[in-house]
Amino acid sequence: MLRTSGVESLANIPELRRRIFFLLAALAIYRIAVHVPTPGINTEALAALFTRAGGTILGFVDMFSGGALRRLSVCALGIMPYISASIILQLLTVVYPSLKEMQREGPEGRRKMAYYTRYLTVLICLIQGFGIALGLEKMTGPNGDPIVMFPGWGFRLLTMITLTTGTVFLMWLGEQITEHGIGNGISIIIFAGIVARLPSAIINTFRFIKTGELSGAILFFVLVLVVGVLAFTCFMEMAQRRIPIHYARRMVGRQVVGGQSTYLPIKVNTAGVIPPIFASSVLMFPATVASFVPVLFFQRLSNLLRPGHLLYEVLYVLLIIFFCYFYTAIIFNPKEVADNLKKWGGFIPGIRPGKATEEFLDRILNRVTLIGALYVSAICVLPTFLIVKFNVPFYFGGTALLIVVGVAMDTMAQLEAHLLTRRYDSLVREGRLRRRR
């Protein structure tokens, strides 16, 4: 007979305590590094420039860097070059079959892909660092103050090396969090950078209440909306279409295998946060370039491609829908799934194996992806709609909300997995089996 102990609290599990303390210490180091400035920068003029260019790609990248780009700290590029390198390699697997085969090689293949990702990250950082240094030398603050105090090749090389080193450090820190902490380290760093902006948003809300710009009724409406949007986002992130799968019985040697029933889960939001990130980057890049060209046409174009304008919002939604289908088609291949089911004796009830199964999965995937694309579009457009149309300061939405909810849910799932593992370990250690007499 087995004697089990109750589920132990988090504080009583030494391994989890160590992991949580390591995670908190790593995040503290990250937030300290965000405030270490790059040499040769007029920080006041740079902060004023970012205040003016909040709706461009500069403000978008600054959100993911946790405010580091606004200060041009050593971590100004954040972890986004690593994310970009990972996405580029994932897209290249469609073009180059050798990379796709490498992904299927197991741990060794994943190590090679990580190796290529790191070097591609360094290359992207060097290019971005040089572009930022070159651009800052030509910029001035709203008052005409130069942002770079000592322009030249010395500043450019120093900025390239400094920003690249900061990103490589964050990449290493993220890997350490993954190994010794809880959750995916890279995602946790992005999560921390976004959440770090939440206190300033709360302070601004109270400032609006104090000055009379925000009434108590509107504040109550915003709080209810925040809770509702958060609950809806959690529900949609967990939502999936389950396709029943049956496995036929067959003889393997002297054993009968198969005869099982399971399901194939297809997430409603299969593409995750990649579509809004791509869509924002595509739209904000021309707006950022146009804002620095002193020509009337380009200035008008820059204003039209800012959040809040009808043209921007329509293009944003269309690009999100396009990238949802595009990225889903990359990570989920109906033909490959249908072939694997046929190979292992699996079938969908009422659907013939092979080509019919592929067409059925493709049809289901298109319908589910449309629902997911509309959901992601609504979440991303909601904050701008409330701020512009109703002058409601709604800070909790968009791409940041999708990332925060997704990372929080993944981290909690890993935490529960640790607790469950600990529970079964205790059961095995403390269990007693009585011998028959």
**Each residue's pLDDT tens digit, 72-86:** 788 888 888 888 888
Would you tell me how many other CB atoms lie within 10 Å of the CB of residue 259?
11
**What distance in Å separates the CA atoms of residue 194 and residue 227, rounded to the nearest whole number?**
18
Q: Please indicate, yes or no, if residue 5 is contained in any of the structural domains.
A: yes
Domain check: are 256 and 174 in the same one? no
**DSSP assigned state of 41:** B
Rounded average pLDDT over 155-171: 90
Q: How confident is the model at residue 297 (pLDDT cuts 50, 70, 90)?
A: confident
Domain check: are 233 and 269 in the same one? yes
Look at residue 390 and tell me whether its pLDDT is greater than 70. no
**What distance in Å separates the CA atoms of residue 152 and residue 382, rounded to the nearest whole number?**
44
Would you tell me how many other CB atoms lie within 10 Å of the CB of residue 87?
16
Q: How confident is the model at residue 301 (pLDDT cuts 50, 70, 90)?
A: confident
Q: Please indicate, yes or no, if residue 434 is contained in any of the structural domains.
A: no
What is the maximal distance between C-alpha atoms in the chain?
A: 96
Instruction: Show which of 189, 211, 233 is a domain's final residue.
Output: 211
Domain check: are 69 and 152 in the same one? yes
Q: Please indicate, yes or no, if residue 411 is contained in any of the structural domains.
A: no
Instruction: Show which of 154, 188, 211 is a domain's final residue.
Output: 211
Look at residue 288 and tell me whether its pLDDT is greater than 70. no
**Token output for 262:** 């399971």
Say if CB 96 and CB 320 are below 8 A apart: no
Number of domains the chain is built from: 2
Question: If we measure between CA atoms, which residue out of 74, 66, 81 comes closest to residue 191?
Answer: 66
Q: Please indicate, yes or no, if residue 7 is contained in any of the structural domains.
A: yes
Q: How confident is the model at residue 398 (pLDDT cuts 50, 70, 90)?
A: confident
Rounded average pLDDT over 162-183: 89
How buried is 118 (Cβ within 10 angstroms: 0-12 exposed, 13-18 middle, 19+ buried)? middle
Range of the domain at 318: 215-392
Look at residue 138 and tell me whether its pLDDT is greater than 60. yes
Domain check: are 42 and 134 in the same one? yes
The predicted pLDDT at position 5 comes to 41
Domain check: are 206 and 220 in the same one? no
For the chain, what is the total number of helices (H) and then of strands (E)? 17, 5
**What distance in Å separates the CA atoms of residue 270 and residue 117, rounded to the nearest whole number?**
23
Domain check: are 362 and 388 in the same one? yes
Q: Write out pLDDT tens, residues 252-283.
A: 556 655 567 888 889 998 888 888 877 877 77
The predicted pLDDT at position 222 comes to 77
Domain check: are 374 and 313 in the same one? yes
Look at residue 315 and tell me whether its pLDDT is greater than 60. yes
Domain check: are 194 and 270 in the same one? no
* Least confidently predicted of 203-212, 229-238, 341-350: 203-212
What DSSP string runs through 16-37?
HHHHHHHHHHHHHHHHHHHT-B
Q: Please indicate, yes or no, if residue 163 is contained in any of the structural domains.
A: yes
Domain check: are 337 and 267 in the same one? yes
Domain check: are 110 and 185 in the same one? yes
How buried is 98 (Cβ within 10 angstroms: 0-12 exposed, 13-18 middle, 19+ buried)? exposed
Contacts of 173 (CB under 8 A, 6+ apart): 26, 29, 30, 185, 189
Which residues sit opposite 267 in a β-bridge? 240
Q: Please indicate, yes or no, if residue 403 is contained in any of the structural domains.
A: no
Average pLDDT, the chain: 78
Instruction: Show which of 191, 211, 231 is a domain's final residue.
Output: 211
| Rounded percentage of the chain residues whose pLDDT exceeds 90 | 10
Question: If we measure between CA atoms, which residue out of 324, 322, 316, 323 comes closest to residue 372?
Answer: 324
3-state secondary structure of 251: strand
The predicted pLDDT at position 199 comes to 77
Q: Please indicate, yes or no, if residue 433 is contained in any of the structural domains.
A: no
Rounded average pLDDT over 406-427: 75
Q: What is the CATH number of the domain that holds 267?
A: 1.10.3370.10
Say if CB 266 and CB 332 are below 8 A apart: yes
Q: Please indicate, yes or no, if residue 422 is contained in any of the structural domains.
A: no
Domain check: are 288 and 203 in the same one? no
Domain check: are 143 and 253 in the same one? no
